[in-house]
């Protein structure tokens, strides 16, 4: 009986000790996630083991969406990978920057003395409309829901536009060689079609210029895109599933 009494006393002391630690270590974590909260939980005490389980957070501010950006050189596989990911991951929407190009005759698109239009700059895109569409998507998904929604934005200049880039949670940039870029470029049909010499005069020089503008950004992960497309896809899928898991652990 004395042994049992001593064990109960030790357990109570251990419980009191860990309750104090809980109030110091656990509750601040809750307060960081929301301005108002209440927590229901239980403390399971054994002789040497404490298990703290939080059953629910009431009034907790949860972010139930993620925005992921995949950028890279032209013809680096961005659109193909985005399509593959949309078939693999639930609740994932894709937004393509190519859909925001201005009409070819729009005066905002810069032209050289020969009338050749430069589609490799932000001025050739309606970025204001794209940003508004992203904000509308966020508004539509911000609700009290147990589901996690993902917006995958892909495009060659999505990180060069600050307002858009600031909305993106995780950023990946695919790099390929000039030779691979050219080989893939000439196999595609563009509207309007590339004029003779457009790749060497505009595509590649502006690819490097646009890269230099963001290459020192620490929140962008640069990925070698010269590998097999399937291997590249699996690599990016693994990265996304990891951040989805971390996000769920944090907010759900």
Known catalytic membership, residue 93: no
The residue behind tokens 């600031």 is: 166
Helix (H, G, I), strand (E, B) or coil at 143: coil
Q: Exactly one of 6, 98, 112, 224 is catalytic; name it.
A: 98
Which residues neighbour 123 within 8 Å (Cβ) at sequence distance 6 or greater?
108, 109, 110
Which residues neighbour 12 within 8 Å (Cβ) at sequence distance 6 or greater?
none
Return the number of other C-beta atoms located less than 10 Å from residue 163's C-beta.
12
Q: Which two tokens stand for residue 129?
A: 């409309």
Rounded Cα distance between 218 and 212, Å, is: 13
Residue 151 to residues 4, 68, 70, 76: CA-CA distances in angstroms?
A: 57, 6, 11, 20
**Catalytic residue list:** 98
């Amino acid at each position: 009986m004395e042994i049992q009494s001593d064990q109960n006393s030790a357990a109570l002391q251990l419980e009191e000790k860990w309750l104090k630690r809980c109030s110091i270590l656990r509750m601040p974590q809750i307060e960081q996630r929301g301005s108002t909260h209440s927590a229901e939980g239980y403390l399971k005490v054994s002789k040497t083991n404490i298990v703290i389980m939080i059953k629910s957070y009431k009034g907790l501010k949860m972010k139930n969406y993620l925005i992921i950006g995949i950028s890279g050189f032209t013809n680096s596989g961005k659109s193909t990978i985005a399509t593959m990911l949309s078939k693999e991951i639930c609740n994932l929407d894709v937004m393509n920057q190519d859909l925001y190009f201005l009409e070819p005759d729009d005066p905002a698109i810069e032209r050289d003395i020969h009338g050749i239009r430069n589609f490799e700059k932000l001025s050739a895109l309606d970025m204001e409309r794209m940003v508004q569409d992203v904000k509308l998507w966020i508004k539509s998904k911000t609700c009290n829901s147990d589901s996690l929604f993902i917006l995958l934005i892909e495009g060659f200049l999505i990180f060069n536009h600050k307002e858009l880039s600031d909305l993106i949670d995780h950023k990946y940039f695919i790099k390929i060689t000039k030779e691979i870029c050219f080989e893939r470029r000439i196999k595609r049909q563009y509207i309007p079609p590339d004029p003779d010499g457009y790749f060497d005069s505009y595509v590649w020089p502006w690819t490097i210029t646009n890269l230099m503008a963001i290459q020192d950004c620490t929140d962008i992960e640069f990925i070698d895109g010269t590998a097999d497309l399937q291997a590249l896809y699996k690599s990016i899928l693994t990265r996304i599933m990891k951040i989805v898991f971390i996000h769920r652990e944090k907010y759900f």
